[in-house]
Structure 1
Amino acid sequence: MKQQRKDMKLEENEYPPGLHSQPYVTAHNMILSHATALHIYKTKYQEKQGGSIGIVLSMVWYEPLKDTVEDNSLVQSTFDFEIGWFLDPFIYGDYPNEMKKYLGPKLPTFSAKEKEKLRYGLNFIGMNYYKSLYVGRCGVSYCKVAERDGIPIGKKTPMPGRKGADVRGYLVWSLIYYFEWIHGYTLRFGIYHVDYNTQKRTPKSSAKWFKDFPQCSKITARKRR
């Protein structure tokens, strides 16, 4: 079991800056920053404004590759390292035991005062859900795959299908290009093209679409009434 957790931790080198301890320190500070913003809003502004504040996480749903004790355990470990890492502090006031056990001193700790602030309460939990995968032992390491015995884990959903989704808002992915995970600036997302040499910003066709979208939506909504 220790070997599979060791394999899991090696993935941290995939992301910049590629330092074993840096992702945990960075995430720790992000969590504390979010907790501070949460506390400030709920104590100073929420009663007057009547708004909600929470957290949104990107996630993948996992199923065991094989119905074995090892693969089922690995599924839970994967959830702990990917979702529990950020959600558990706000629900339970601390990181998952799995992370603490296998990362040891590499994982920062919360003070008693910080834990109290963390558990101040979330009004909602949002999920950016992209896909489902199998996770399990593959040879000497573990793997995440979309098929088992040549059969996909589920039917592919055509983009942009949103049927059955309770949509409360629509936000553009990004106004201008940003640093995209492990791809840096090699992948371009955004409604304004940026010339990296001159920094000139040019609106793309998607910028015009997004500008017109709210008005079109209002018209459509009125017609439906």
Structure 2
Amino acid sequence: MGENPTKRPAWRRQFSWNSFLRLPHCCTREERGIEPFVTLHHFDLPHEMETRYGGWLGAGIREEFDYYADVCFKAFGDRVKYWTTFNEPNLFTRLAYVLGKYPPARCSAPFGTCESGNSHREPYVAAHNMLLSHAAAVHNYKKNYQATQGGSIGIVIAMKWYEPLTNTTEDILAARRALSFEVDWFLEPIFFGDYPREMHKLLSSNLPKFTSEEKSLLQKNKADFIGINHYTTIYVKDCISSPCDLKAYEAYEANALVLATGERDGVAIGRPTAFDGYYDVPEGMEQIVKYVNQRYKNTPLYVTENGYSQHSNDTMDKLINDVERVNYLHGYLTCLSSAVRKGANVRGYFVWSIIDNFEWTFGFTV
């Protein structure tokens, strides 16, 4: 970036990147048959950023993210050909700033009872700063690194597929609105320079506005690829024409003013999994891939997460003879294959996860 090190903040100059930048090349990607996809931000944030800028609520964090991304491009760009700026920023902002369930745990009624926060405005401010951080990092990569390193850079979005609970106009529009708040919240600014119409209509002044310069930055630095994290499909019911129970506001889809449910007339939408509200509905994979492929101009797609959640206290026989997971993956890959045969520009697929991990606040129980 041509940055003068003496002009960096004192706290930043105290850390030396010299040894970090000279990490040894233990082996080549080709030798090991590994193609790394590196994510720059996956929920965690240094406490210094929270103290200094208020985390993603402060515009100053954009420059810090750009600097951090530059360090990574410079250090690893000779080996990394696929960069993701953010993983699931739409999920993160909801859980952290709407519902207050993940750090920094900010929210307000009726969505939650946190010590501080504003669920009606803060998630959209945080998302705004993340989008502009994404644009800055993409601009830097394309201007200074892409030609010599030969890589690409994109963003990964958590994507459920939503079906209307009933065939009423209200529920059909609710399903469309849920997709806007899930998928288009981040992708429409990146590809078209502004938030979706449904969000403008519902949020009004609580939705930040892009300046003409910011719109230009976003549109001139579109993502090279879109990552799709898809696990489930669920029904949604409209909560505007007929207000839903207050408990509905404590759910993941609450800010879209819809009620999500896995059942219709007492029948589950698919086989339940260990995660509450996640069902085995393979047809949703084809639907979400087709939606993104058509809406975002045939941009290359990667299914960056898809997998089956299972209780770890299941019987040993059930864990070893992993029939339910096999059936889940077979169904989803079959439907993904169908989307590809119909023209979807899908370049790759990752199963979540290849090894056991701490699954968020569930530890090893799931």
Of structures 1 and 2, the one scoring higher in RCO (CA 8 A, sep 6+) is 1
Name stretches of at least 5 consecutive residues in structure 1 with no aligned partner.
1-8, 181-185, 190-225
Q: 1:127 aligns with which of 228, 253, 259?
A: 228
Distance 1:71 1:170, change over 3 A: closer
Matched residue type, 1:96: P
Instruction: Indicate the residue corresponding to 1:136 in structure 2.
Output: 237
SS in 1 for 2:158: strand
Could you tell me which of 134, 138, 144 is aligned with 1:34? Answer: 134
TM-score, normalised via structure 1 length: 0.66
**Whole-angstrom distance in 2 between the partners of 1:13 and 1:48:** 41
Tell me if the contact between 2:234 and 2:269 (Cα under 8 Å) persists in the aligned partners: yes
1:105 matched to which residue of 2?
205
2:270 equivalent in structure 1:
154
Question: Is the alpha carbon distance of 1:172 and 1:41 closer, same or farther for their aligned partners in structure 2, counting shifts above 3 Å?
Answer: farther
Q: Could you tell me which amino acid in structure 1 is paired with residue 168 of structure 2?
A: T
2:181 corresponds to 1:81: yes
**Greater displacement, 60-69 / 131-140:** 131-140
CA distance in 2, matches of 1:30, 1:128: 18
Q: CA 1:173–1:27 in 2, change beyond 3 Å: closer, same or farther?
A: farther
Aligned match of 1:213: none
Matched residue type, 1:125: I
Separation in 2, partners of 1:177, 1:151? 32
Quick one: distance in 1 between partners of 2:358 and 2:325?
Answer: 22
Matched residue, 1:116 = 216
Which residue of structure 2 aligns with residue 215 of structure 1?
none
SS of 2:160's equivalent?
A: strand
Q: Secondary structure in 1 aligned to 2:210?
A: coil
Displacement after TM superposition at 1:154 (Å): 3.2
The residue type paired with residue 130 of structure 1 is Y
Q: Sequence identity of aligned pairs in percent?
A: 41
Equivalent positions of 1:21-60 (< 5 A) are: 21-60=121-160
Unaligned runs of 5+ in 2: 1-93, 108-117, 245-257, 272-279, 281-307, 309-323, 337-346
Give the paired residue count. 173
- Provide, for residues 142-200 of structure 1, a one-character-per-residue CA deviation record: whole Å limited to 9, x for no partner: 421112112222353633754437756688799x979x5xxxxx5437xxxxxxxxxxx
Alpha-carbon spacing, 1:148–1:172, altered in 2? closer, same or farther (3 Å): closer
Query: RMSD in angstroms over aligned alpha carbons?
Result: 3.0
Structure 2 equivalent of residue 219 of structure 1: none
Structure 1: distance between partners of 2:350 and 2:230: 16
Using the TM superposition, name which of 148-157 and 18-27 deviates more: 148-157
- Give the partner amino acid of 1:17: R
Give the secondary structure class of the aligned counterpart of 2:136: helix
**SS in structure 2 at match of 1:110:** coil
Q: CA deviation at 1:114?
A: 0.8
Instruction: Check conservation: 2:98, 2:123, Cα contact below 8 A.
Output: no
| TM-score, reference length from structure 2 | 0.42
